[in-house]
A and B are shown apart, each in its own frame.
Chain A
């Protein structure tokens, strides 16, 4: 399959649209977001206006018009959004990512009433969503969560603590994973629920606009309608749906962040002169440029392939999203390091964005499945396939 040749005019238009939106409305605020650890409301308003919050959702849920008739095009356009955001601000890409993670779990496993209520709110961006799985003592093994949900009459009482929740300090609605007598459950937790307190986590290494927080739940009462899916299926189906979306989105986001690094590097090496000539002429510089250009291209092709599989609902879709995230998140670490190296002292100083890119890139190998967990998954997918 020649993935690069499959760009239709509509897909090219979507890429151009999201690049323009991200560069005009997000990129100018990237350093401020990093400095203040918060995304300005003006940025969120611009993204709402541009339709970014609807991207990636089914049309019936409020997603983009035409998504049902052209699911591959919609998946590629959604990828283009996340690449554009990743290039403009990794923090903002993450905000839209967790919105889509929680929202896609709701769109997939919500009841008709839940979808009718939350669909318009989420796709318009009026309600911002996030997903709360991780706990202080539970990371990769999501089935071991200790937050406890007990049946209480027609509803639930939930107690426990979630940690490292992206948009914990800013989201309006959480898809919360908890343990119950019947196995893991997913519950819709509104930010204003009595008994929920939110503690922001300051001084993160990178992606500071993620608004990371701890969620502390003390006898939080939720109605029966808060249950998403069925008891016992909270991790295997609900969280898994969100995580697969997240890996897909983040892979594209990594390509965008890497492209930002590459653009900075290209500009610098063709301007900077040492020993009487542009450093772009030095072969060891060319080696770094060649490596990053090739790796970004490879990652982008993997993302495109993953998006096509996602749109087609191919059996390989989960594997491709996992592989794309695995490769892109490790790739962006190498690219950010090399781009910083090419900048010399300027790359580690405060006047270029390279130090921010470097810190942001480091986050990518940790979230939505660590590199090591993804390696285990990819090996398992491979065992399923062969030997032929």
Chain B
């Protein structure tokens, strides 16, 4: 799956989670006040189910979830490791 397609899906998910808000791919969602405890696990479940990866304790770094770009990078990294 291309990087753009991954980002589009994450973008769509976040827009739904944040009541239709338009979020730039490099926007820090936590600084912007979008992130909350309920959303945190929703995001993990979303990327696992949608992209077929497993987020484990080593991935629990706020930088991995800070923006659409960062989440997409996590997905790409995990998929590359799984494919290797």
Contact = CB atoms under 8 A, between A and B. Distances in A.
Interface of A: 109-111, 143, 228-230, 232-233, 235-237, 240-241, 244, 313, 315, 317-318, 377, 380-381, 383-385
Given A109-B57, A237-B60, A313-B49, A380 B38 contact: yes
A240 B41 contact: yes
A240 B40 contact: yes
A232 B60 CA distance: 9
Interface size band for B: 10 to 19
A384 B19 contact: yes
A317 B45 contact: yes
B57 A315 contact: no
Interface in B5-47: 16-19, 37-38, 40-42, 44-46
Nearest to A312: B49
A176 B18 CA distance: 31
Contact of B60 (A230, A317, A377): A230
Nearest to A240: B41
18 contacts: A109-B60, A110-B57, A228-B57, A229-B60, A232-B60, A232-B62, A235-B37, A237-B44, A240-B37, A240-B41, A313-B49, A318-B38, A318-B45, A377-B38, A381-B38, A384-B16, A384-B17, A385-B16
Interface of B is mostly: helix
Contacts of A315: 42, 45-46, 49
B3 interface: no
A318 B60 contact: no
A379 to B, nearest CB: 11
Nearest to B18: A384
Given A109-B56, A236-B41, A377-B38, 7 more contacts: A235-B37, A237-B44, A315-B46, A318-B38, A380-B38, A384-B17, A385-B16
B57 A229 contact: yes
A383 B49 contact: no
Contact of A383 (B19, B40, B44, B48): B19
A313 B49 CA distance: 7
Contacts of B17: 384
Given A377-B38, A384-B19, A230 B45 contact: no
A143 B60 contact: no
Nearest to B19: A383
Contacts of A317: 45
B64 to A, nearest CB: 10
A383 B16 CA distance: 9
